[in-house]
Amino acid sequence: VTRSHSSQTGRYSTIWPTGLKKPAAPSHAAGGETVNKQFNILFLCTGYSCRSQMAEGWAKWYGQPLFDIHSAGIEAHGNNPRAIEVMKQAGIDISEQESTKVSDEMLKQADLVITVCGHADEHCPVLPADTKKIHWPLDNPAKAEGSEEEIMDIFRTSRDDIRKCVKDLLQHLREDISE
């Protein structure tokens, strides 16, 4: 899967994966109740402080209950207050999300892993054979320089780019899963 940014149009384009796992058929848990497995999406970044947290926030907003959404980092750098603030401005509260280091269990449960930065893409742990991976080369707003307002504008732009990516992804997955 590739995702590229056009400097001419200012837009991202994505080639989507094919053959994604469909959620398992309903099964019965102890006690006889029916259990449906949700399609599990994991957003992965280097430090899990900005881009993956915003992606998780948008994906939970747009994707539940059909999708089980998680995010993590190759490392855990803590939550970025600017990311929390710009998401709050858009009506999404990510303040309770924990900065979490990716675990083998998270990777094992993921149907789809989306790396949101080059470092995470290059250092992504080995994935199970039936787990798909997409890479989104998103700019890191945490590296922005300038006045506070200029930096917040960069965070807002990043937030809006991530929102578009997530909406497009979930629409594609809904179509693929329903086929």
Q: Is 165 a catalytic residue?
A: no
Token output for 178: 């329903």
User: Which residues does 26 contact at the CB level (< 8 Å), separation at least 6?
Assistant: 34, 35, 36
Q: Which position among 20, 66, 124, 152 bears the catalytic label?
A: 124
- Write the burial class of residue 154 (CB in 10 Å: 0-12 exposed, 13-18 middle, 19+ buried): buried
Catalytic residue among 117, 120, 154, 165: 117
Angle at 47 between CA 45 and CA 53, to 5 degrees: 60
- Contact between 132 and 112 under an 8 Å Cβ cutoff? The reply is yes
Q: How many contiguous H segments (helices) and E segments (strands) does the chain have?
A: 5, 8
Residue 124 falls in the annotated catalytic set = yes
Integer Cα distance of 152 and 165 in angstroms: 20
Write down the catalytic residue from 41, 42, 44, 45.
45
Q: Does residue 50 carry a catalytic annotation?
A: no
Nearby residues of 122 by Cβ (< 8 Å), 6 or more positions away: none
Give the active site residues.
45, 117, 124
